[in-house]
């Protein structure tokens, strides 16, 4: 019996050590979602760029466009080739400039046709090769 009382005495102090439950919840912030942090906005705002006044676009005459190219430039060489009777083939223009076919066609469409306002005509010959010409 002595052993029983010893066990009871050793277990009783452990039971007396229990802490009472808390009546309030702990002050803990709610968990944040796992996403990328938001970027903070800068304090200064950029000033808008200054824009030049827009003028009305006008079609440039062919003489002014031809005068716009420098002497000896590739543009001047191409214009000289295109002004010949019968115009110039794609391969002739490629040989004169050293450009590839897509570059020649882009130049004819963009620079001569759109920027300079020239009317470039295109015709396919009997041999199947395309030739370009400009009136002037």
The pLDDT tens digits of the residues spanning 77-105 come to 999 999 999 999 999 999 999 999 999 99
Buried b (16+ CB within 10 A) or exposed e, 97-116: bebeeeebbebbeebbeeeb
Average pLDDT, the chain: 80
User: In degrees to the nearest 10, what's the CA dihedral of 111, 116, 122, 128?
Assistant: -30
How many residues comprise the chain? 136
C-alpha 68/C-alpha 61 separation (Å) is: 11
Q: Using a cut of 0.85, tell me whether the model's pTM lies above it.
A: no
> Domains of the chain by range and CATH?
62-134 (1.10.10)
| pLDDT recorded at residue 115 | 93
**Average pLDDT for residues 14-27, to the nearest whole number?**
69
Alpha carbons 119 and 111: distance in angstroms, whole number = 11
């Amino acid at each position: 019996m002595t052993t029983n009382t010893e066990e009871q005495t050793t277990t009783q102090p452990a039971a007396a050590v229990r802490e009472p439950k808390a009546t309030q919840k702990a002050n803990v912030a709610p968990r944040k979602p796992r996403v990328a942090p938001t970027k903070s906005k800068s304090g200064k705002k950029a000033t808008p760029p200054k824009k030049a006044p827009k003028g009305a676009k006008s079609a440039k005459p062919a003489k002014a466009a031809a005068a716009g190219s420098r002497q000896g430039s590739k543009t001047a060489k191409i214009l000289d080739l295109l002004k010949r009777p019968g115009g110039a083939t794609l391969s002739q223009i490629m040989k004169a400039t050293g450009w590839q076919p897509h570059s020649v066609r882009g130049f004819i469409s963009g620079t001569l046709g759109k920027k300079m306002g020239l009317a470039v005509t295109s015709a396919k010959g009997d041999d199947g090769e395309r030739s370009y010409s400009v009136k002037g």
